[in-house]
Amino acid sequence: MLHYETKDLTTPEVHKLLLGGVAPRPIALVSTISKDGINNLSPFSFFNAFGANPPVVAFSPSRRGRDATLKDTYNNLIETQECVIQAVTHSMVEQISLASVEYSPDVDEFIKSGLTPIDSDLVKSKRVKESPFQMECKLLEMRSFGEGGAAANLAVCEVIKFHVAEDLFSNGIIDPIKIDLVARMSGDFYSRAGSGVFVVEKPIGKKCIGYDQVPKHIRDSEIYSANDLGKFGNSESMPSEDDVKLFIQKIVKEKFADFELGSEAFLRYQRLNEYKRMLKAALEMKENQKKNIELSVKCALNNNDMDFAWKAALFVKDVK
Ligand SMILES: Cc1cc2nc3c(=O)[nH]c(=O)nc-3n(C[C@H](O)[C@H](O)[C@H](O)COP(=O)(O)O)c2cc1C
């Protein structure tokens, strides 16, 4: 590990560390209007949501690193006490990058970026038509932390109206693939969030047994990863010895069509995620039995079949 005390680093060094380690960051595309009626549009990735009652979001239009001057977004927010924040989709990313160029305050960045302004309902700042998720906001508080270059100005805002495209939803939630958001990483790197989407079952409200209560022979396995063990720890209980016995008897008796034995067939079942066939084959093949059963468990875990995974994993205890 490298170890740094902040006092020994320059501001650009600190900035680079934050951009790399606090990532991926959602991007707020913030639209404000000056007191002279000029529209301003800029992206900010020091941004997040902090509560839902009332809905509070915050972002930081920092002081410019070069000369510590205040950005137009900051000045407009102080003057008008309002803004519109929109989510940034992959289809808009080049245009929002263009909106980050430092144009002078009399330049309308909607025109420069080619994004389309549309009227808001409750604030004067315009909404960005191309974004499928827009939030009309009132400034609650502006907190400044220092007056040097890159000093944070935390703009804490309350969302007073949401505009959301209806086609974003699947099963009552905003579908991460459909919304296709981008996030900011270090340097010039962005992340297309939908491409990395996966599911982790929420432990909320569950009395999970925890990592430490996963039986030792499972924790000691060389096949399971830390994430696999975390999944076991995320369960509320484990099956009894009798349940495990019955489960194994059932698999042994079960007749699968075109079932084959041998290491080649086992590999094929593994490729096809056929973990029940993997287990049946492992039980009948004597070589590498422990390892093969654990591979079937791993495959069941990948398919979120916790009942199978637990029973097969507990059975391994008595396998040599
Ligand atoms: C993706 C992206 C994220 C950015 N995030 C921030 C940020 O969190 N804070 C900030 O002060 N500037 C950020 N910037 C730079 C501002 O967008 C840039 O300084 C812009 O010119 C500010 O415009 P304004 O003076 O019109 O407010 C970011 C730029 C990009 C492209």
CA distance 43 to 119: 19
- Cα atoms found within 13 Å of the Cα of residue 305, Cβ hemisphere only: 15
Number of the ligand 1 atom closest to the C-alpha atom of 96: 31
For residue 269, count other CB atoms closer than 10 A to its CB.
25
Q: Residue 157's pLDDT is what?
A: 98
Residue with CA closest to ligand 1 atom 26? 72
Where helices occur in the chain by DSSP H, the ranges are: 11-21, 72-80, 93-99, 109-113, 176-179, 216-219, 226-233, 241-253, 263-271, 275-284, 289-302, 306-315
Q: Is 44 in the pocket of ligand 1 (CB under 6 A)?
A: yes
Here the tokens at position 301 are 């875990």
Distance of CA 20 to the CA centre of its chain: 16
Q: Residue 10's pLDDT is what?
A: 97
Q: Residue 201's pLDDT is what?
A: 82
Mutate to test the pocket of ligand 1, among 27, 44, 110, 112 (most ligand atoms within 8 A of CB): 44
pLDDT tens-digit profile, the chain (320 residues): 999 999 999 999 999 999 999 999 999 999 999 999 999 999 999 999 999 999 999 999 999 999 999 999 999 999 999 999 999 999 999 999 999 999 989 999 999 999 999 999 999 999 999 999 999 999 999 999 999 999 999 999 999 999 999 999 999 999 999 999 999 999 999 999 999 999 888 877 889 999 999 999 999 999 999 999 999 999 999 999 999 999 999 999 999 988 999 989 999 999 999 999 999 999 999 889 999 999 999 999 999 999 999 999 999 988 87
Q: Is 31 in the pocket of ligand 1 (CB under 6 A)?
A: no
Q: Is residue 226 helix, strand or coil?
A: helix
Distance of CA 284 to the CA centre of its chain: 42
Residue with CA closest to ligand 1 atom 28? 44
CA of 192 to the centre of ligand 1 (A): 19
